[in-house]
Amino acid sequence: MGTQLSYGGSGTAPWEEAADETAVLDAQPASDSPAATDGPPDGGSGEGDSTVDSLITHIIEAIEGQDRRPIPGAPSTYTPANVRPSKYVAGGSSVHSGTSKFVSTPRSGRSSRQSTARGAAAVSAGAALARGDANALRELGLDLAELRTLSPREQQQRILDEILGAPGHPDDEALRRATHATLKAIAADPDIAQDAQIDYLLASYVYEQALVELTSQHANRQLSREAVTKLDNRLKPYIFKKAKHQLSSAGRYLSPALFIEKATSLVATVFRVMRGGRRSGS
């Protein structure tokens, strides 16, 4: 697991603390660990696990710490147009990035809200493809007829290439992996609610971002070969369970623009819940 890009790590204090917690988790014998779940991530174990609870708190603090750094020229709102790495003309004409020649935003211009917006745009495209919604895909600069000529795997790769571009930093690779996981979840269950799509994306993003940092060179921990398996069995289900909506709105279908807006508006709420807080109204 992890990313395809060599990375030294951020080296910030919260990530160092998270690395320390990971070392504690790694050192625990299997008999001290909660049993791994055979079910889907959002039904996993981990509740009452103080080590994992402390680890996830440090992970969220680290991600939020990165967000507090000023980003010159960052948009205040995100749209289907400004989240894309390539230029396109509304109406379905785009500069194709199927060759992965477009590189994503540099780290200095990246935040969890921006990453969520970009991932949400791709997720919205996957859901629109599953519904056969040509208008929504056109809003995202994609063409339904063209996508339908591709295999399911090629469809997902085309969406990722067009909307996310090729990863220019391990953080981009983490976002791509998280978005791809969400696209596969939608393909497996086309009726998955939009709230659940957002929950899945945010949980996947937090987990993949954690893997990037906790397995980086800067973490400088001699983790065992089973360390990432332990993270997958204990940390991942815990993140997905915490990210799951307590109150799900069964309202009207959201357009890509509104879906992106809702996803970015929920970032702070989901992070607060992961730190042990509560959602508003829950």
pLDDT exceeds 90 at position 132: yes
Of 244, 126, 237, 258, residue with least CA distance to 179: 126
The mean pLDDT value of the chain amounts to 77
Contact assessment for residue 216 and residue 9, using Cβ atoms and an 8 Å cutoff: yes
Q: Max CA-CA distance within the chain?
A: 57
pLDDT exceeds 80 at position 64: yes
Of the listed ranges 31-35, 53-57, 170-174, 260-264, the least confidently predicted one is 31-35
Please state, in angstroms and rounded to a whole number, the distance separating the CA atoms of residues 61 and 185: 28
What percentage of the chain carries pLDDT values higher than 90?
39
Contact assessment for residue 244 and residue 198, using Cβ atoms and an 8 Å cutoff: no
Compare 95 and 173 and report the one with higher pLDDT.
173
Q: What is the residue-wise DSSP string for the chain?
A: ---SS-------HHHHHHHHHHHHHHHS-GGGSPPPPSS-GGG---TT-HHHHHHHHHHHHHHHHHHTS--TT--SS--TTTT-SS-EETTTEE---TT---B---GGG--HHHHHHHHHHHHHHHHHHHHT-HHHHHHTT--HHHHTTS-HHHHHHHHHHHHT-B-SSHHHHHHHHHHHHHHHHHHH-TT--HHHHHHHHHHHHHHHHHHHHHTSTTT-----TTHHHHIIIIIHHHHHHHHS-SS----PPPPHHHHHHHHHHTHHHHHHHHTT---TT-
Convert the pLDDT of each residue in 16-52 to its tens digit: 888 888 888 888 776 555 544 433 444 444 444 788 8
Q: What is the model's pLDDT at position 204?
A: 96
Convert the pLDDT of each residue in 209-263 to its tens digit: 998 888 775 555 556 667 778 888 888 998 998 888 655 555 678 999 999 999 9
> How wide is the angle at C-alpha 189 spanned by C-alphas 249 and 139, nearest 5°?
70
